[in-house]
């Protein structure tokens, strides 16, 4: 597989001008306040699993509009407040079967895995959270659902779910509210950027080959889906480009990165044809924090660093939490 983007020397200095709406902060402040006003307490119940070396629990919490979102909480059997890693999932995946993701809990963390509303049928072993909202005509997938207005866009609901999950975790008695990190690969990386920018309780963010950054460049240059969904939509609706990209500017990872002042560890793969390396560096190079690092996987595609990168994350996070 060939390199898919600019040379690394150019990527390291790349700081594109990405459109940012004047009411970006107000939009998110009002969105979160509206959903927080409708929130009810999270619930935890034992998960049906043969695993007994760790505690695995079924989580339900209030997300966008007070709607109930599902997840898994996996943790060590220790009677103390522990640091937390919240993980968001890649495009099309769901929370799956309890016990599938044990490595963070085995490393001593409370691991909280958020189901992504409406997804869970693209790969893995399924999801359990519906997205009870309709949309105007959209291309197959999630990228163009509600794309004509930021109030209606699919990721408004997902990002709100992600932020309100941090609220819920802060109230869990075995979780240390002062030691919460967020992470995720691809779509999960993009969601983690939004959560870190919008919730002051996040102290570290680890976006792994993060998706949903620099929409304008990504839609124009990425050869396939999911960004291709937007290109197909605009190839039919030829007069809606400006309107669509205005909506997307409220959800661009670059605009969230501009607001992140906490510790950050990114990863990028230079042969990635799903998430262009330039879109990852566009976000990384706009971070406010001085405590930032990016792992570059020169000869990998969208799989990035795999488990080797998780080992890098554990070492990095142990120094901060």
Q: What are the catalytic residues? A: 186, 272, 302
Q: What does DSSP say about strands 82-88 and 68-75: parallel, antiparallel, or unpaired?
A: unpaired
| Residues 6+ away with beta carbon under 8 Å from 26 | none
- C-alpha closest to that of 181 among 234, 278, 111: 111
Which uninterrupted H or E stretch holds 74?
strand 68-75
Nearest 5°: phi and psi at 56?
A: -120, 125
Q: Is 10 helix (H, G, I), strand (E, B) or coil?
A: helix
Residue 199 contacts residue 300 (beta carbons within 8 Å): no
- CB burial class (10 A; 0-12, 13-18, 19+) of residue 50? exposed
Q: Is 139 helix (H, G, I), strand (E, B) or coil?
A: coil
> Quick one: angle between helices 24-36 and 154-170, nearest 10?
60
Give the separation between CA 104 and CA 156, rounded to whole angstroms.
Answer: 28
Q: Is 148 helix (H, G, I), strand (E, B) or coil?
A: coil
Give the separation between CA 27 and CA 194, rounded to whole angstroms.
Answer: 13
Which uninterrupted H or E stretch holds 280?
helix 277-284
């Amino acid at each position: 597989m060939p390199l898919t983007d600019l040379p690394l020397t150019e990527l390291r200095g790349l700081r594109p001008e990405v459109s940012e709406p004047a009411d970006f902060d107000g939009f998110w402040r009002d969105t979160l306040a509206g959903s927080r006003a409708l929130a009810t307490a999270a619930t935890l119940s034992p998960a049906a699993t043969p695993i007994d070396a760790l505690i695995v629990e079924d989580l339900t919490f209030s997300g966008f509009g007070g709607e109930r979102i599902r997840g898994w909480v996996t943790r060590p059997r220790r009677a103390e407040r522990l640091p937390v890693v919240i993980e968001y999932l890649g495009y099309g995946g769901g929370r799956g079967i309890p016990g599938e993701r044990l490595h963070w809990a085995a490393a001593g963390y409370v691991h909280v895995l958020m189901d992504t509303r409406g997804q869970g049928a693209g790969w893995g072993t399924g999801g359990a959270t519906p997205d009870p909202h309709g949309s105007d005509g959209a291309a197959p997938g999630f990228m163009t659902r509600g794309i004509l207005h930021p109030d209606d866009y699919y990721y408004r609901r997902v990002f709100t779910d992600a932020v309100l999950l941090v609220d819920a975790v802060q109230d869990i008695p075995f979780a240390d509210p002062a030691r919460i990190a967020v992470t995720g690969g691809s779509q999960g990386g993009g969601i983690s950027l939004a959560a870190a920018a919008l919730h002051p309780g996040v102290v570290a963010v680890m976006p792994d080959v993060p998706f949903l950054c620099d929409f304008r460049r990504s839609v124009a240059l990425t050869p396939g889906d999911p960004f291709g969904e937007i290109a197909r939509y605009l190839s039919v609706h030829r007069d809606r480009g400006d309107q669509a990209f205005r909506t997307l500017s409220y959800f661009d990872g670059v605009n969230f990165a501009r607001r992140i002042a906490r510790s950050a560890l990114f990863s990028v793969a230079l042969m990635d044809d799903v998430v262009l390396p330039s879109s990852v560096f566009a976000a990384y190079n706009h971070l406010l924090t001085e405590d930032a690092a990016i792992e570059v996987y020169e000869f990998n595609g969208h799989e990035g660093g795999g488990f080797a990168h998780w080992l890098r994350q554990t070492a990095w996070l142990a120094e901060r939490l």
